[in-house]
Amino acid sequence: MSIHIAAKIGDISEIVLMPGDPMRAQYIANKYLQNAICYNQVRGMFGYTGSYKGKKVSIQGSGMGIPSMSIYANELIQEYKVKKIIRIGSCGSLQRNVQIRDIVLAQATSSDTNINSRIFPSMNFSPVASFNLLLKAYQKAQEMSIKVNVGNVFTTDLFYDEPCDSWKIWAKYGVLAIEMETAGLYTLAARHNIEALSILTVSDHLITNEACTSEEREKSFNRMLELALEMV
């Protein structure tokens, strides 16, 4: 086992879907996987492995923010030899044409995090999605008649920022949505030469201040989930 994941080598699939909320991992395992086993309960950050349409897949909670996501992604990659990670999470829309309940495929990330300025002092690294996973997600979405928005997202370290309208500069530069994990995930994927993609559902809208009801959140989350599972 690794420090934060109590699984044996071989318990985790080479492809892992990562919701932020560990209760979502449990929900997905119960609703969609056959023969699911729970391989991790450390800190309540549930991890499950089972099969979807005969293919082995794992679902691991990431927690919120780059630090938490990075701990789990690092251990999945380095200890359990995971090769593909698909984050399935929520985001806030920064554009009028990206509507509540829409799906966003994060082609690249901008960020206010300092993780990469430590690695590349006075230079910039652009964390990007795996083109292979991005293309596959886009094609599956078309097959399934699911509308997707593809583009840049903004990964922030602060859900409650000061000043509270700091997101507007990102909106001006065409960034589609705000979330809190993707820059960390894509950077780790680059460092370890694995594939990663974030698929996000718009749960709230920073321009219109709309937010999903919990029922809408569940329905739109299921659609995103089915898209991610079809990629396994």
Enumerate the active-site residues: 204
**Residues β-bridged to residue 117:** none
- Verify binding: residue 65, ligand HPA, rule CB under 6 A: no
Query: Which region among 38-46, 84-92, 123-131, 215-223 touches ligand HPA (by CB under 6 A)?
Result: 84-92
Give the Cα separation of 199 and 220 in Å (integer).
Answer: 12
Shortest distance, CB of residue 75 to ligand HPA, whole angstroms?
23
Shortest distance, CB of residue 93 to ligand HPA, whole angstroms?
9
Beta-carbon contacts of 149 under 8 Å, excluding residues fewer than 6 positions away, are 97, 98, 102, 103, 104, 105, 176, 177
Per DSSP, helices labelled H in the chain are 22-32, 65-78, 115-119, 131-143, 168-172, 182-192, 214-230
Shortest distance, CB of residue 3 to ligand HPA, whole angstroms?
26
Both tokens of residue 156? 């922030």
* Residues 163-202, mask of contacts with ligand HPA (x by CB under 6 A): ---------------xxx----------------------
Total residues interacting with ligand HPA, rule: CB under 6 A: 10
Burial of residue 38 (CB within 10 Å: 0-12, 13-18, 19+) is middle
Residue 106: what residue type? A
Among 144, 159, 169, 191, binds ligand HPA (CB under 6 A): 159
Q: 3-class SS at 193? A: coil
- Verify binding: residue 90, ligand HPA, rule CB under 6 A: yes
- Verify binding: residue 92, ligand HPA, rule CB under 6 A: yes
- CB atoms near residue 131 (< 10 Å): 11
**Closer residue to ligand HPA in complex, CB, 77/200:** 200
Shortest distance, CB of residue 91 to ligand HPA, whole angstroms?
5
Among 58, 62, 95, 156, binds ligand HPA (CB under 6 A): 156
Shortest distance, CB of residue 184 to ligand HPA, whole angstroms?
13
Q: Is the peptide bond before 163 cis (omega within 30 degrees of 0)?
A: yes
- Which residues are near ligand HPA by CB under 6 A? 90-92, 156, 159, 178-180, 203-204
